[in-house]
Chains A and B, each alone.
Chain A
Amino acid sequence: MKNKYGIPKKLRKHFCPSFSSEEDFNGEKKDTKAFISTSKRWPAGAMIQGIFFARFLPQKGIKVIHQSPPGCIVTEPGVDKPRLFDFETMSEYIIPKQAFCNRYVTSCDPENKYRILGHPVCIKDEKYTRNEFMFNFCIVIGVEADKIPYEAVVRRLATTFTEMEIQNEFLSQEDISNSQNRRSIAALLEIIKEDLNNYNECMIPVGTSLSPFPKSMNLIIADDANTINMKLFPIYKHPPPVKAWHVPISKMKFSSIIDDTWDLTMKKVILQIDGIKDVRRIAHDADVALDLAKIAVQHLLYYDSIIMLDLFLFGNIYAPTPDVDDFLEDKEGMQDECANYVYINGPRLSNFYLCRLFTTLCTSRTIKEWLKLHMEQGFPVLNFVDVRRFVQFGVIKGLIYRVHKYAVSNTVLNGIVSARNVGVEGGEQLQRYADGCHCFDQITVEMNLADVKIMDQLRRFPKGNVEIIYR
């Protein structure tokens, strides 16, 4: 993602859940993991319903040469299974006109049950009849299945076989030189389908032979292009931008997967992630430029190895969302999950107290005031509950949300309306934050000012000029 900053590709590999063994997630943050699920988009096994190789034959038109499982696309003698779809209907989209070739092409059958993912290739060369050679390796998946991970596989099949066709006419001369020298395409398809369905990856050398090469075959270079290395990568959504005032919390034990090949910046940043420091602080403590730190954190976010939260302070306000009802109803065993995570300061209490704690949060109560309220009612929260973890749990589960503080200066608003730069007397420092769009967290982090100091500075604005909105 950010190669220009020298973050190695290797990192990506490490963070890909399929590579990292279960141990990676069972580190010291074990209890965090208990409720921070790592369930991101990931293909569930056996999604490939069929795989086939189609060619345009000058005399016969578009034909399926090989398929797996047998009879899934076109009837085969001895196979009595119904076909997935009518090939004749779809053939137009499997090997389309030349203008649509050499790109990723997908289509759905008329029943809207299957999706055909292909990358039709057209190689132009005078040696071929009609001066062109057209083929497509297609994967068929259910319409409901997640198609995104398969795109890379289909593209990879196209490039590998294109390369092999160009190198040694692997495809076009298939019938003629189908000797012991190489694996048959039919067998390859079968292996690819089975391996991807069962292991989400496959690695098959295709150009090399088991027996010694005949002289003519020595021309084949056993490079990357003759080996099919494929893997179903879960493609994640692009992560939201990282804010300097957000706090990353790790979901896995980084120390067990980090190695010497990792990017230096990334290593420095990771060392500072402790679930308390905000990104700016991390950058500062790691002695890394803020922009680079942000990029590193975003990288971790992409692989779902961290979660971003707001800066926890006892002066913060959190309020319940309608989803708090899920907690009261104990959906997905949430109450015990929460209890395991937050009752670490003393004896474990009944889950009732957690319900009570969540429902007493409200839009005008800081955590400090909320604690005081419970103290007065005879419940010394801090003796039992780690409040920071409690809030984390609520925010991550969407039971509560942070109510941010914003300053709005009437002068600044009027300045925006009239498109003029108006200076506010006494507000030089904070004026640019006083448009209602910059929360106090941002000011705290960027100006290095505590809440009280910000309020002090805002008091220097003319009287009645600044309003504080809690949102």
Chain B
Amino acid sequence: MPRQTTSSFPFRGLLGNIESQQQDMATGAAAIAPNPGLSAIALVIRSRDGPRFVFHYPARPSNKPPEREPRYSTELDTEPSIEEDEDDSDDSDLEENLYSSLPALGKLDLNESDGRPSKKHQKSSHAEPPIGDDHYDEKGEHVVPWEHLFEFPTADLESILTPSRAFHKKKFELSLDPLTFVTYPIHIREDGQWKKKKSKKSKKVKKESDEATGSGEGKSEGGAKNSSGDASEDGDDHGGMTMFNVVFILNLPKEEEDERIAEIYEHIIKKLNKALKHAQASSNYVWKESEMMLLMKEKAREERRPMSWLWNEILLKSTLAGAIRDVFNAVSNNDIATVRLGASPLVDLSLQIPIPAYLTRYPGSDERAMLGLLLTSANGLVNEDSSEDPTRLNKHFALLLLDDGEKIITEIQADNTELTAPLIECIRLCKPTLSFLQVAQTQNVELNSLLVLAQHLIYWRRAMAIPPLHAREMYIVSPNCDSRKLPAANTAWKKAFPLAPSLPGYLAALSAAPRPYKTFSPSKNHRPTYLDMLAWAIRGGWVTPLRTFAWILVWPEILYEVQYQLKAEALEKAKNATSSEQTSSTSAESTDESGAEKKSVNSDEPLSSEQAAENARLERLAMKLAEDAAKFAAEFEKMPKPVATLHPSTNSAPHLKALSPYIIKDPHKASHEESLYIATYGNRFTDPKIKDCWFKFCSKYFNGKEALEMICLQEGMKRKETWSILMHFQETIMICKHW
């Protein structure tokens, strides 16, 4: 596959190389993400000669459903005896029973022509591919090996996989049990063009780049080569191609089918087909490549060439075939596909199904395990105002490289682009111990560009955002760490930190009891190394920050004080009201009763008896009110006066017995009473600074969602100072520590 040397994409060289890619796989999050279940990719077009099945990859796709993670939740062990034997047979057994009332159509011998063994057919609903598929060439009769894909003749597939215009730029999904075919068909415009004709060239170039950016990370290069693009717009050399689509053939477990199809459709299928449309429009790319592949196939058919030979030839000659192969390999490995379509101008695009860099929830017992993925509630895409924005990193987070910094730098240097220098700068400046804001301030660089570069590294799975590491914070062994990797990781650890304790020893110490991290380091001089060790362990998903969360806890003493206060106020109000009522009793009455009613009473001159009854009712009401008020006042008199003690939590005064402590759920949306509780606490702090902080922290941090560790960063305070202030609130907040 011919490839240009220059590229606007970092890591291209590396990612394009499949071998090295697979080696990398072993450690990355990609290895943990569930198998995307991609069986094959096919290119199908409709040309002058009708629908044509152009190419598919791999040449002989596996019919087997993808292997699945046999573990669940955070389990480490597997019991092979039960698992591997049973799992499959269980499923088919289950199906068989469910459909046992319908003993498969095979029983009816509808498929006599296939000559399938009926036993086999009963056992599994998956049909076997025709035997001829496994042979390169003729066997008695001439069977062309590439004219079958799975058990289907490509002659039949090509017609069913060229959906009508109704599906133009729409999702096409067809399942032929057990396979699902998903695509995004592209038809030629009604006017016979692949895109709207633009009068001005400049406009056209703009449109192109717009479209390219729309399709993922695509970019069009060499806009100067437009002349060749124009030639294709004559429309004569299309070969009468009216539609094309790259079809993705998936084999997924039923219960996750919809979700996974939606993912691959949005992130891969749509973008790839859009990019191809762009290439077709600019330089007739899809047709040229298709024509070439079809000719090669025809020739090989005549020459009775083996399929492997032909496929090698096609992959060598056609950049489109190469692109399909690259996409297949990358998607199958959950990797990022970087594809260059050999159209002119060249179309570069990168495709990936995003995979999370960490888990935010503890995996449930019925969820497939994603062992080794870091488990943390700290999400770098949630900003200070607790809104999640996938395009903006929290500036108080830090960048943790997922590989050795120097190694990443070499990779970036290998792809010399305009971004290379800034990216290297970013890698050199960012430390896992410094927030982006701190880096920007100390190094005098622009924060926004720093965030953009960091985002770039995260997108390319070279880094992740974490709360900055600090020796005062606590770290624990992640409940999701993959101990099966312990032997290999231990060796790597020894190499990286020859003088440190062994990895199991280190993890054991961390996990025994959560303590501030600095206490593990033998001396202050060791701290930098210990922080490096920590970064290493977090990168591998071994260790996760233990974060502190708080809620405001209102003790009975405070509850009572506020209650008392409110009652006193109510009493005061009532007193004022009655005194004003006496001066203008009628007006007070009129406000009590609805004005409209009063009016109607006056105008219509109702029966006097009715009026009398009404008056009597009002009188009774007034008396009742007065009685209640008196009772209320008397009761209030009896209530003991609230006394503010130094430690409200231990106040065991008898009048507080009936009250139980109260937790404010969301101080940001505090009710009137809740804000009084907060105020009462606040007024008890004598130190103005602490009082200040109390009110400042309350609504922002004491909500159970914001980690107290972030306060110092977000408020620009010293860590030590923050914690010493927080110590003053010890009695007024309830604390919980979790990852």
Residues on A close to B: CB < 8 A?
1-3, 9, 12, 86, 89, 92-93, 96-97, 99-100, 102-108, 110-112, 121-124, 148, 152, 155-156, 158-160, 162-163, 166, 224, 229, 233, 235, 237-243, 291, 294-295, 308, 319-325, 328-330, 349-350, 352-353, 355-356, 358-360, 362-364, 398, 401, 403, 406, 408, 410, 413-414, 416-417, 435-439, 442, 467-471
Q: How far is the CB of B32 from chain A (nearest CB, A)?
A: 16
Contacts of B103 on A, CB cut-off 8 Å?
159
Please list 24 pairs of residues, one from A and one from B, whose beta carbons are closer than 8 Å in the complex, sorted by A's number: A9-B100, A12-B97, A97-B156, A103-B177, A104-B125, A104-B175, A106-B174, A112-B170, A152-B98, A152-B99, A152-B102, A295-B82, A319-B479, A322-B377, A322-B738, A325-B705, A355-B663, A359-B736, A363-B513, A401-B362, A406-B483, A408-B486, A410-B490, A417-B488
A320 touching B736 by the CB < 8 A rule?
A: yes
Given contacts A224-B101, A238-B90, A240-B366, contact A110 B176 (CB under 8 A): no
Contact A108 B173 (CB under 8 A): yes
- List, in ascending order, chain A residues with CB within 8 A of B362's CB: 321, 323, 398, 401
User: Which A residues are in CB contact (< 8 Å) with B153?
Assistant: 99
> What residue of chain A has the Cβ atom nearest to residue B367's Cβ?
A240
Asked if B177 and A93 sit within 8 Å, CB to CB, the answer is no
Once bound together, how far apart are the Cα atoms of A233 and B490, in whole Å? 49
Instruction: Determine if B171 is an interface residue (Cβ-Cβ < 8 Å).
Output: yes
Interface residues of B in 473-495 (CB under 8 A from A): 476-479, 481, 483-484, 486-488, 490-491
Q: Which of B317-325, B429-437, B501-509, B591-599 contacts the other chain?
A: B501-509
Q: Main secondary structure on chain B at its contact with chain A?
A: mixed
Find the A residue at minimum CB distance from B175: A106
A420 to chain B, nearest CB (A): 12
Report the minimal beta-carbon distance from B426 to chain A, rounded to whole angstroms.
30
Contact, CB under 8 Å: A468 / B105: no
**Known A291-B81, A363-B546: A469·B511 in contact at CB below 8 Å:** yes
Inside 8 A of A2's CB, which chain B residues have their CB?
A: 90, 93
**Measured CA separation A358–B737 after assembly (Å):** 11
**Sorted from nearest, which 4 A-B pairs have the closest CB atoms?**
A350-B660, A359-B736, A467-B508, A240-B72
Stretch at the interface among B159-167, B383-391, B574-582, B719-727: B159-167
CB distance from A92 to the nearest CB of B (A): 7
Check B361–A469 contact: CB distance below 8 A: no
Knowing A1-B90, A241-B79, A359-B736, say if A403 contacts B487 (CB, 8 Å).
no
Can you name 12 extra interface pairs (CB under 8 A) apart from A12-B97, A97-B156, A324-B738?
A: A103-B125, A108-B172, A159-B108, A166-B108, A237-B366, A243-B75, A308-B365, A322-B738, A328-B665, A329-B665, A435-B486, A469-B511
Interface contact B512-A470, CB-CB below 8 Å: yes
Q: How far is the CB of B184 from chain A (nearest CB, A)?
A: 11
Query: Is there contact, CB below 8 Å, between B177 and A105?
Result: yes
* B interface residues with partner A (beta carbon < 8 Å): 70, 72-79, 81-83, 86-87, 90-91, 93-94, 97-103, 105, 108, 110-113, 125, 127, 152-153, 156, 159-160, 164, 166-167, 170-177, 254-255, 360-362, 364-366, 377, 476-479, 481, 483-484, 486-488, 490-491, 502, 504-505, 507-508, 511-514, 546, 549, 551, 660-663, 665-666, 704-705, 734-739
Determine the chain A residues whose CB is within 8 A of the CB of B477 once the complex forms.
Answer: 469-471
CA distance A414 to B490 in the complex (A): 9
- Contact check: which of B75, B364, B504, B513 meets A467 at CB < 8 Å? B504
Residues of B within 8 A of A229 (CB): 101
Contact A148 B174 (CB under 8 A): no
B-chain residues with CB within 8 Å of residue A469 when the two chains form the complex = 477, 483, 504, 507-508, 511
Give the CA-CA distance A163 to B104 in the complex, in Å: 11
**With the chains together, A416 CA to B462 CA distance in Å?**
29
> Considering the chains assembled together, what is the distance between the CA atoms of A160 and B491 in angstroms?
63
Chain B residue at smallest Cβ distance from A355: B663
The residue in chain A whose Cβ has the minimal distance to the Cβ of B185 is: A110
- B105 partner, pick from A97, A158, A353, beta carbons under 8 A: A158
Contact of B504 among A122, A238, A239, A408 (CB under 8 A): A408
Query: What CA separation (Å) do A243 and B486 show in the bound complex?
Result: 23
Give the secondary structure class of A's interface.
Answer: mixed
A364 and B97 within 8 A (CB):
no
B360 CB contacts on chain A under 8 angstroms: 322
CB distance from A113 to the nearest CB of B (A): 11
Best-surrounded residue of A107, A122, A438 (most CB of chain B within 10 A): A107
Do B504 and A319 have beta carbons less than 8 Å apart? Answer: no
Is B486 in contact with A99, judged by CB distance below 8 angstroms? no
Q: Contact at B502–A436, with CB atoms within 8 Å?
A: no
In the complex, are the beta carbons of A471 and B486 less than 8 A apart?
no
Minimum C-beta distance from B462 to chain A (A): 27
Which of A104, A110, A360 meets B167, CB within 8 Å? Answer: A110
Q: How far is the CB of B282 from chain A (nearest CB, A)?
A: 27
Shortest B682–chain A CB gap in Å is 22
Q: Distance in Å from the Cβ of A152 to the closest Cβ of chain B?
A: 6
**Are B99 and A99 in touch, CB under 8 angstroms?**
no
Report how far A435 CA is from B484 CA in the complex, Å: 8
A471 contacts B361, CB within 8 Å?
no
Give CA–CA (A350, B97) in the complex, Å.
50
A residues in contact with B70, CB < 8 Å: 241
Q: Is the CB of A103 within 8 A of B127?
A: yes
Cα-based distance from A47 to B101 in the complex (angstroms) = 23
Check B101–A96 contact: CB distance below 8 A: no
User: Which residue on chain A has the smallest CB distance to residue B180?
Assistant: A106
Hey, which chain A residues are within 8 Å of B508, CB to CB?
408, 467-469
Among A3, A97, A160, A352, the residue within 8 A (CB) of B662 is A352
